[in-house]
Structure 1
Amino acid sequence: MIKTPSILVVDDEPNNFDVIETFLSNEDYTLYYASNGNDAIASLENEAPDLILLDVMMPELDGLEVCRQIKDRQKWKAIPIIMVTALNSKEDLANCLESGADDFIGKPVNSVELKARIKSMLRMKTQYDEIQKFSILQRNTINTLAKNMDELTGNIAISLSHELNTPLNGVVGILQILKTDFDKFDHDEMSELLGLALFSADRLVDLTKRFLLYLQLELSGTTNDSILPQESVFSLSIVELIAQRCAKNYDRIEDIIFDIEEAEIAIAENYLLTILSELIDNAFKFSVKGSPVTISSRIQNHQLHIIIHDGGKGMTPEQISKIGTLIQFERETYSQQGVGIGLKLVKMIIKKVNGVLEIKSIYRQETKVMISLPIITL
């Protein structure tokens, strides 16, 4: 039996719902209505819509905040959201994308465009649901072969498809706008839109590279060959370069503190850069602007001890114990989304060079990541 697609329409103006209902009267959809953001979020506890049409301009809880709250919840984040807005500046578009919206449509709503965008999003949702079904089948099969792979495989299958779709939707959405309204944008606006598309594309490339590195490290564990028999220099200039690049993404250049002792260490340079990039980015991502992020290092007992300390959200002992299982811990903002692979990569690389990784954290107060790497001795 084929399930009729359901659509939740969120708008503080009942007349707008009547318009959408009229536009879709010949389509086989089940429509629900919520007059404000709080009611919309509450309704998701009982209803599971296949799509949400969400008005941006609403009192109290606006559409952008509603979108963020929905996308921050694991059980709801796969629901496609089309933002309905009378706003049309490039800043408004950027805000919609940043909030996690999958698509958007301008007011006054055009019937043909509305139907086309709904069909496109529902088709994407159907594909996602098929991936979910396949992942369940895959997980059950793997459980019979190796029980200890259950948690790892399940989280890869469930989260990776969504994390690939998020930046991909950003690229496709902007290209659709440029194709439809090409003549309406001046040079600066078009440059801004292409910049947003490039940002999403870079995110997609970065995720792909990290996942391929993860697979490379996993496969190398099944052979006697090591892929890390090299050396590199841990220097202030390298740390500054990575830290400033990460801090710039969060507008936090002033928050960096360095206390570096340099050394030659037994690890390939590209893997050292991966470790530093992942840990320093996390320090900024999960702490607030204005709080210091300290990066220090000391040589002791033929080891280089690196410490990255932040005064951010911290981790619970249970979360620390699960590092390496590709589980996403609680996220408070859309910018903290990820596939949960970063700390797993760090842990795998450090293990391969006979290093040590230790994390000490006070929940909601601070996190201190300590790495010990073997130095090159003459």
Structure 2
Amino acid sequence: MPANKKLLILPGDGIGPEVMQEVTGILEFLDRRNIATFDTSEGLVGGASIEAEGVPITPEVVARAKGSDAVLFGAVGGPQWDKLGFDCRPELAILTLRRELGLFANLRPATVLDALIDASTLKPDIVRGLDIMIVRESTGGIYFGEPRGIETMADGQQRGINTEVYTTSEIERVARVAFDLARQRQGRVCSVEKANVMESGLLWRQVVTALGARDYPDVALSHMYADNCAMQLVRNPRQFDVIVTGNLFGDILSDLASMCTGSLGMLPSATLGAPDESGRRLALYEPIHGSAPDIAGKGIANPLAQTFSLAMLLRYSFDMTEEAAMIEAACRSVLEQGLRTGDIMQPGMTRVTTNEMGAAVRAALERLAA
């Protein structure tokens, strides 16, 4: 039984604490059934940290994250902090963790479960069997490039500046993650950029092409411009296996792909660092749905994305593939029973609360572990 794995839990704001509570119940189940034991601790991030500490994340929490085997993150942000300066917004917590922990590869799966085919706004025959993995570079590109800022020009106008910049090593390391994942899936990578109008995109294409030819000749590599990729994700999403792209395009395309599945409330993500000499890599796992302040505190949030994030954590950080598969099977089971939170509600289904959905998943786990 895996034991003494250090797990830092950062619930955050909005619905973050609500959905995280349902996941901590799964950790208790794993411990009680002698499946796995974790050394867990919690910390404040985002608006919760601003209220208590005056900053979105403290150096102490960053240090604890660096000393953990994995970080399970909820969500941050809310309208009460919208008027804060750009350098003190709650979202800086996640950007700081990515930068300080070197979490450069964001993995966002977009999978359509059979029970939720009708939840997608796309036709069932378009999304049936959809299983995409988007690998987004997450510590470079336009979100981190310099120079950046807002300046006042000589004529009194203001100008906003952001810089898209990538180095060979940054491109190559995230492309390796995509190629390695493809080897475990269907063996296909589509690299996405704007090489036709951006020098950074041209370099991206050149580096990925050279890496594929040199180290991954068994993986089929294709290239696509980002605007075309967005169109193709709506027209024929099943043509893709693994998509690898930069920070900005990955941010946009992964949200687009998520809506092919029907709801942001269903999708997890992982952000991985580079493995050290022992093979250990820092990693953070979070749902992609955000803090959803409009429904926070109402007990109606969907906890399944956070639950799937835990499954990704077990698979990628602790090599607990069987346990991860059991959690995913439990989630599928409750959906097949017709249980739905409001975001995925369909005619003829049973609407449940956050707590009821979490309890149903744990009951399904009890049956599967029997």
TM above 0.5: no
User: RCO higher in 1 or 2 (8 Å CA, sep ≥ 6)?
Assistant: 2
- Bigger helix share: 1
- Give the TM-score normalised by the residue count of structure 2: 0.26
- Which structure has the larger Rg? 1
